[in-house]
Amino acid sequence: MKYSLSLLSAALLAASAALPAHANNIVPGSAQERPIVLQGGTLMTVSHGQVEGDLLFEDGRITAIGAQIERPDNAQVIDITGHHVYPGLIALDTTLGILEISAVRATVDTNEVGLVTPEVSTHTAYNADSQIIPTIRYNGITHAQVVPQGNLVRGSSSLLNLDAWNHSDALTRADVAMHVTWPAVGLSRSPWERRSAEEQRRAQQEMRDALTQTFTTARAYHTAKQAGSVSREDVRWEAMLGLFDGTKALHVHADDRRQISQALEFADEQGVDVVIVGGRDAWMLADELAARDVAVVFGDAYGLPARVDEAYDTAFATPAKLAAAGVDFAIAYPGNWDTRNLAFAAGHAVAFGLDHATALYSVTLGPAKIMGVEQDLGSLEVGKSASLVVSRGDILDPLTHSVEYMFIDGRLVEMDNKQRQLWHKYQQR
Minimum separation from the CB atom of position 188 to other proteins (A): 8
Name the one range near other proteins by CB under 8 A: 114-122, 165-173, 206-214, 420-428. Answer: 420-428
Binding track over 295-314 against other proteins, x by CB under 8 A: ----xx-xxxx-xxx-xxx-
Q: Which residues of 74-87 are buried (b: 16+ CB within 10 A; e: fewer)?
A: ebbbbbbeebbbbb
What minimum distance in Å lies between the beta carbon of 304 and other proteins?
5
Nearer to other proteins, 61 or 424 (CB): 424
By CB under 8 A, is residue 19 in contact with other proteins? no
Among 335, 366, 367, 378, binds other proteins (CB under 8 A): 335
Interaction between residue 95 and other proteins (CB under 8 A)? yes
**By the rule CB under 8 A, 20 interacts with other proteins:** no
Spatial distance between the Cα atoms of 353 and 321, rounded to a whole number of angstroms: 8
Residue 161 CB, shortest distance to other proteins, in Å, is: 21
- Stretch 383-402 residues interacting with other proteins (CB under 8 A): 396-399, 401-402
Assess 113 for contact with other proteins (CB under 8 A).
no
**Residue 148 binds other proteins, judged by CB under 8 A:** no
**Region binding other proteins by CB under 8 A among candidate stretches 76-84, 167-175, 267-275, 348-356:** 348-356
Distance CA 227, CA 349 (A): 49
- CB neighbourhood size of 255 (10 A): 21
Give the nearer residue to other proteins in terms of CB position, either 136 or 218: 136
**Could you tell me the smallest distance in angstroms from the CB atom of residue 17 to other proteins?**
21
Q: Which neighbouring-strand residues pair with 66? A: 54
User: Does the footprint of other proteins cover residue 192 (CB under 8 A)?
Assistant: yes
Residues of the shown chain interacting with other proteins in the complex, contacts defined by CB under 8 A: 95, 100-104, 131-132, 149, 186-187, 189-192, 194, 197, 253, 255-258, 278, 280-281, 299-300, 302-305, 307-309, 311-313, 333-338, 340-341, 344, 347-348, 350-352, 396-399, 401-402, 419-420, 422-423, 426-427, 429
